[in-house]
Amino acid sequence: GAGVSQTPSNKVTEKGKYVELRCDPISGHTALYWYRQSLGQGPEFLIYFQGTGAADDSGLPNDRFFAVRPEGSVSTLKIQRTERGDSAVYLCASSLNGRGAEQFFGPGTRLTVL
Amino acid sequence: GENVEQHPSTLSVQEGDSAVIKCTYSDSASNYFPWYKQELGKRPQLIIDIRSNVGEKKDQRIAVTLNKTAKHFSLHITETQPEDSAVYFCAASIYGGSQGNLIFGKGTKLSVKP
């Protein structure tokens, strides 16, 4: 079946603008994770969804970042008033049940804030 | 919270040699340790994982060892090939816990010279 997909693959925006990044998890996976990967670093956890609810948003860096998963499938990560420091690759992962099951990653969205 | 340290940051070996990458973790509650391989511009892909109820796991040329007492785990690649060249990330999480988000090391760039 299809793996995790993310759109867009690249996003260039200007400082202060609003962006939305989309993640389509593997069908049937109840758990969905967002990570951020800066150049030369490992992925850093942002937020975890179990079904429709955000079970853990402790990794979100500040209130400019928000994510939703209204129907328990597709998720959107929203960033308001973007800053140059937000530039990174945003990775989405899904797993069958979220209780430590294998996480499958999407290809990521490369966000560049000019 | 959990902290994962990974060494070395870069590793260069000759084709056919073995490569070893080491990670330490801080939270004794962590019990699931996956390793991901990430080629340039691609998504992280799980190559092997280990749970804390075993000390070693092998899959063809790849093996992982875990020392719970010392809180460290290692990736061993034997008979390296040029296609093994990539960045490798270790991670830790709590399998069966309420979140399961992964805490990653900073990565090891492995170069296999033909």
Residue B98 scores a pLDDT above 80: no
Span B19-53, pLDDT tens digits? 999 999 999 999 999 999 999 989 999 999 999 88
CB burial of residue A10 (10 Å; 0-12, 13-18, 19+): exposed
Do residue B46 and residue A103 have CB atoms under 8 angstroms apart?
A: yes
Q: Does B19 touch chain A (CB under 8 A)?
A: no
> Confidence class of residue B94 from pLDDT cuts 50, 70 and 90?
confident
Distance CA(B96)–CA(B101), nearest Å, equals 11
Q: Which of B17, B91, B18, B97 is nearest to A105 (CA)?
A: B91
Model confidence band, residue A97 (pLDDT cutoffs 50, 70, 90): confident
pLDDT band at residue A1, thresholds of 50, 70 and 90?
A: low
B chain contacts of residue A41, beta-carbon cutoff 8 Å: 106-107
> A109: helix, coil or strand?
strand
CB-nearest to A55 from B98, B106, B107 is B98
B49-73 per-position pLDDT tens digit: 999 888 999 999 999 999 999 999 9
Q: What are phi and psi of B48, to 5 degrees?
A: -165, 155
Whether residues A104 and B99 touch (CB distance < 8 A) is answered with no
pLDDT of residue B18: 98
Q: Is A3 exposed, middle or buried (0-12, 13-18, 19+ CB in 10 A)?
A: middle
Residue A59, chain B, CB below 8 Å: the answer is yes
The DSSP symbol for B42 reads: S
pLDDT of residue B38: 96
